[in-house]
């Protein structure tokens, strides 16, 4: 199979971590008989330096012409003083809008080798943490009308049935590729928008009889994530709730350096990136953890390319890396062997082979 991947190395540690992810993809391609073609795309601070624009139309077009996009990280102190509409992060917003991605999918998984890094007590962690939050990305209160008149401010929360249905189907499809359990999170005891959310979710559930659907109020979900995260497989929710819950979930796993994410829309073409930033303080020092980016590449294989076996191979190779006692600086602990970014990638590739 041949796939065309747009590669945004970005800023800070972005080029280093993306290089390791690409090398892992090349290893997978060699072993499983695929061809991955890469198109380099400038976005973020590097694009500002080169073009005076965080994402020129010509660079966006490269992404739209690809089968999926792999992103490292953008931004850094160097560009703090540029006008707000030209900041590196604006390139990311423009990319999401241009690609039409409306679903942000962020896994919360604790690797058993890193269980001690979780702030949760051992009896909770030992039950397992492995779920995905599917967050609606371009609607809700963040995109509604914002208005301040005198001493009163209002923010409008709006969802249509079609917006709920399309994110709901992403949730069901994601659950189908996992353990077939979907939890719909809302605030239907208070909000009309949530009552509509619940109605639509139950209507489309009929199209997914193999997926078990449950409902949970958002405040209870926030408690359950720290009380018993093992109960969750896939959580689907609206924009603001998903923003808050995914940040909460990232903390119980112990390290943001290990967490990938994807943004998806109506097509299989997705945007894949680690959740961490560009970390300019360690850029070029071979100290970055590339695992979040490598796992983002694995998500691309699984969710955009339907290459589940190949994605499993990458995840198993990372588990073997941790089993052998190797750690990058951000996840280092006593008795382990610290390795840099390049060596981390080399070991993971060797484990795949």
**Which residue do the tokens 């009929």 mark?**
206
Our measurement of the distance from residue 113's CA atom to the centroid of its chain's CA atoms, rounded to an integer in Å, reads 21
Verify whether residue 187 is a known catalytic residue.
Answer: yes
The pair of three-digit structure tokens given for residue 343, joined into one six-digit string: 């060596």
Could you say which of 142, 177, 268, 287 is catalytic?
A: 142
Longest CA–CA span in the chain (Å) reads: 65
**Cα 160 to Cα 129: distance, rounded to the nearest angstrom:** 32
Annotated catalytic residue within 49, 219, 228, 306: 219
Among 49, 28, 75, smallest CA distance to 295 is for 28
Catalytic entry in 30, 207, 228, 247? 247
Measure the CA–CA gap between 317 and 329, rounded to whole angstroms. 19
**Residue 142 is a catalytic residue:** yes
Q: What secondary structure does DSSP assign to 107-153, as a single string?
A: EEE--GGGGGGSSS-HHHHTT--EEEEEEE-S-GGGTS-EEEETTEE
Count CB neighbours of 157 within 10 A.
18
Q: Which of 109, 187, 208, 233 is catalytic?
A: 187
Among candidates 305, 296, 289, which has minimal Cα distance to 347? 289
DSSP letters along 79-105, please? GTTS-GGGSHHHHHHHHHHHHT--EEE
Residues annotated as catalytic are 142, 187, 219, 243, 247
């Amino acid at each position: 199979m041949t796939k065309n991947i747009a590669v945004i190395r970005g800023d800070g540690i972005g080029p280093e971590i993306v290089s390791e992810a690409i090398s892992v993809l090349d290893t997978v391609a060699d072993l499983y008989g695929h061809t991955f073609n890469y198109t380099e795309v400038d976005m973020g601070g590097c694009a500002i330096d080169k073009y005076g624009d965080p994402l020129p139309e010509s660079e966006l077009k490269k992404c739209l012409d690809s089968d999926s996009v792999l992103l490292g990280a953008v931004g850094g102190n160097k560009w703090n003083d540029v006008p707000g509409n030209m900041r590196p992060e604006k390139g990311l917003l423009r990319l999401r809008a241009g690609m039409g991605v409306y679903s942000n999918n962020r896994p919360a998984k604790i690797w058993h080798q890193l269980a001690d890094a979780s702030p949760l007590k051992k009896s909770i962690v030992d039950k397992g943490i492995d779920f995905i939050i599917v967050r609606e990305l371009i609607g809700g209160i963040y995109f509604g009308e914002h208005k301040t008149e005198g001493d009163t401010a209002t923010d409008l929360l709006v969802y249509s049935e079609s917006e709920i249905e399309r994110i709901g189907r992403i949730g069901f499809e994601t659950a189908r590729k996992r353990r077939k359990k979907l939890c719909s999170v809302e605030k239907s005891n208070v909000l009309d928008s949530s009552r509509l959310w619940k109605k639509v979710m139950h209507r489309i559930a009929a199209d997914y009889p193999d997926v078990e659907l449950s409902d949970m109020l958002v405040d209870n979900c926030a408690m359950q994530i720290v009380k018993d995260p093992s109960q969750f497989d896939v959580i689907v929710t609206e924009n603001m709730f998903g923003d808050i819950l995914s940040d909460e979930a990232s903390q119980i796993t112990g390290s943001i350096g290990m967490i990938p994410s994807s943004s998806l829309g109506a097509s299989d073409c997705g945007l894949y990136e680690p959740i961490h930033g560009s970390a300019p303080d360690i850029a070029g020092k071979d100290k970055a953890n590339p695992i979040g980016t490598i796992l983002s590449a694995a998500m691309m294989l699984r969710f955009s390319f339907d290459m589940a076996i190949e994605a499993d191979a990458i995840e198993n190779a990372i588990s073997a890396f941790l089993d052998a006692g190797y750690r990058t600086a951000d996840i280092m602990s006593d008795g382990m062997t610290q390795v840099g970014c390049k060596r981390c990638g080399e070991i993971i590739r060797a484990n795949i082979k």
